[in-house]
A and B are shown apart, each in its own frame.
Chain A
Amino acid sequence: MPDIGQSLGAAIAIAFGALSTGWAQSRIGSAGAGTIAEKPELIGAAIILEAIPETMVILGFVVAAMILML
């Protein structure tokens, strides 16, 4: 059973990662939607760009899982 410090650490690790990813994706998503409206051929690039900030929450998740389970 993880202690309160571990739980808090895991929560911080994933929460900030998730918030940052969400914020970045909202900006990229709206810009991407505008781009696709004008140049539909750039849809592939827009999808890739949208996936880039997910690294933050994924690494946050990895850290949180390691804090809780190791």
Chain B
Amino acid sequence: MEKILVIGSREHAQRAVDVLYRTGTLHLTDVTDHLSAEEIRLRKWDSEIREKMAGLLVKIGGVLLTLPDIKGQESRWREMYEELYWRETSDIIEEASSIVSTLEERIRELSTRKTDCELRIKAYDRYQKTIEKIRPLEEQLPSLEGFEVTVLLIQTEFADLIPLIEHELYRITRNQCEMVSAEIDEDTIAAITVFNKRFSDEVHSFIFTKNVNEVRLPQEYMGKPFEEVLELIERGRRACREEQDEIEQTLRSLSEKWYLKLSVMKHVLSDKLQEIEVFSNFGQTDYVFAITGWVPARSLEKTKKAISRKFGNRVVIADLVLSGEDLEQAPSLYANPWIVRPFEFFMQLVRPPLYTEIDPSPLLAFFFPLFFGLMVGDIGYGLVILGIALVVKKRYADQGWVQSVMNVMIISSVPTMFFGFMYGEFFGDFGEKMGWLHPVHLFGISLNRIEAILPLLILSIGLGVLHVMLGLVLGIINARHMKHRKHMAEKAGMLAVIAGGILMLASLAGVLPSVPVFAGAIVLVAGLPLIVYGAGAIGLLEIMGTVGNILSYSRLMAIGMASVILAMVANELGGTLEILLLGVIVAALLHSLNIVLAMFSPSLHSIRLHVVECYSKFYEGGGTPYHPFQRVKEG
């Protein structure tokens, strides 16, 4: 990372910000962190225009929401964007305000009419449904002289209330009432009530106090036969639809004229607003402006060229000389080869690395698939995991995190198949039973996971020793970079204690007969003062913690063994069933469960071994991720 100072004549300030925003390489820092008030009298940039732009953006958004979208003008859109972006912000605001004020009133009126039409159509639908329900009663109505008909609308969830209302109406009208209820849609029930007019006031007052909706048909429908009412409804609905079509037509013609321009303006203004949001980091005097920030070394030339192409030497970029303390403030940017990049996703589980410390992603990229393969270790499972990962990757091509996780699964499926070959496993012991493959014999030991418990346990713990010691070595390198002598001594002491302990054990077990036990003891004891110097006497307790960390790697064997036993159970259970198809289905279901577990649990434990056992030996974290000043992607 390089820290730069962009400085130039104040008249070019806005344009320079535009160029930096479009280049998208600068991680901004507060200019006053570098240039103090004594060096140069800097004023912060005012951003009064922000309120105006934010308000305008809301209005444009509202207009665009009402206008129908015009598709298929991408190239014209890009041309207009380029043309508009480099215009003065004040001009863009002025033009946008004028367009919005012309359109706003018109759009609002059209939108209100459109909503009104929709509401009227809904009301017509409801009237129609209600009238169709009460139509069978029409013939009886003339004979019901002296009776009144009212329709109550009740939500379906309150259907239980209908008998209660009916009971109350019987009481009020002294049994001179009839009630018929029927569903008019899935949410509403209509209860048609015929009662003696003498009780009209009491009935309406009761309905009103109980907060029940009464359908009041429009005045013009009153006293007309239902047939005629239905015709009026249909006519009204048709008129509404015609009005809706006319409104749509007007909106479409407005859209053809303005949509593209407003859409471009919205994006340009939104970009300019994002620029203004960071103006608080910039400084200016009466004549010059100053911007500071971090640029990755590989993007420095690109940034300088972008500025010089636009401004010649009227705006310049100066490389700042940095102290070690400055470097600790630098943002971190992962710069890994493609094979490591998917594993950066898991780095989100810990705080981002400091700029001055080692990025642990390559370590994760090497050991994660190794641990995963050791635990799952099955050719069949490896193939299924590979297949699932490829399908999911294709299906969710637009989801960044899914792509990362599936790439990790694809990479991990390779060691899974390799260890599957070593263990002689294809869907558990199915491959071995069929005579397709057998566990490999290494140094006279069969790698059958059920039999070779001890060798695999030793292998797991051996990998733990290697992994933890690698962590300690990286810890020494980090401490050296950061000039933390005590940390360095503590890590070196711990490394010596572990190495000494291993030598002693190897000598006692006869694995290294040429190394005397006391040689290991000397290395171990030599490490103790270093630990005490680095972390104090309490640091000695950490030895037990580190031993615990190493023993924790036994999970590589244990989880793998649990997985193979479940696979064997699937095969056994499937094999004992007398109906072939049923046996295959049972075995397939159990294997599927095991594969899902195999994708989840070994991943989690592999990550855990890194984060808890290994990173704790060297990783500090707490850095600032590199966020270049550029357009924030939407959606």
Interface residues of A (CB under 8 A from B): 44-45, 47-48, 51-52, 54-55, 58-59, 61-62, 65-66, 69-70
Contacts and interface: CB of A to CB of B under 8 A. Distances in A.
Given A44-B348, A44-B349, A55-B552, A62 B557 contact: yes
B605 A54 contact: yes
Contacts of B554: 58-59, 62
A65 B561 CA distance: 9
Given A58-B558, A70-B453, A51 B604 contact: yes
B544 to A, nearest CB: 14
Of the four ranges (under 10, 10 to 19, 20 to 34, 35 or more), the interface on chain B belongs to 20 to 34
Nearest to B610: A48
B608 A48 contact: yes
A47 B562 contact: no
A44 B349 CA distance: 5
B558 A62 contact: yes
A47 B554 CA distance: 20
A44 to B, nearest CB: 4
Given A44-B349, A45-B349, A48-B608, A69 B555 contact: no
Contact of B555 (A44, A45, A58, A65): A58
A59 B348 contact: no
A65 to B, nearest CB: 6
Interface in B447-462: 450, 453-454, 457
A55 B551 CA distance: 9
28 contacts: A44-B349, A44-B350, A45-B349, A47-B349, A48-B349, A48-B607, A48-B608, A48-B611, A51-B604, A51-B605, A52-B608, A55-B552, A55-B555, A58-B554, A58-B558, A58-B559, A59-B554, A59-B558, A61-B558, A62-B457, A62-B554, A62-B557, A65-B453, A65-B558, A66-B454, A66-B457, A69-B453, A70-B453
Interface of B: 348-350, 450, 453-454, 457, 551-552, 554-555, 557-559, 561-562, 604-605, 607-608, 611-612
A52 B611 CA distance: 11
B550 to A, nearest CB: 12
A58 B562 CA distance: 10
Contacts of A70: 453-454
A22 to B, nearest CB: 16
A61 B562 contact: yes
A65 B460 CA distance: 15
A54 B607 CA distance: 13
A65 B558 CA distance: 9
A35 to B, nearest CB: 14
A44 B621 CA distance: 15
A55 B558 CA distance: 10
A40 to B, nearest CB: 12
A65 B449 CA distance: 12
Contacts of A69: 450, 453
A6 to B, nearest CB: 14
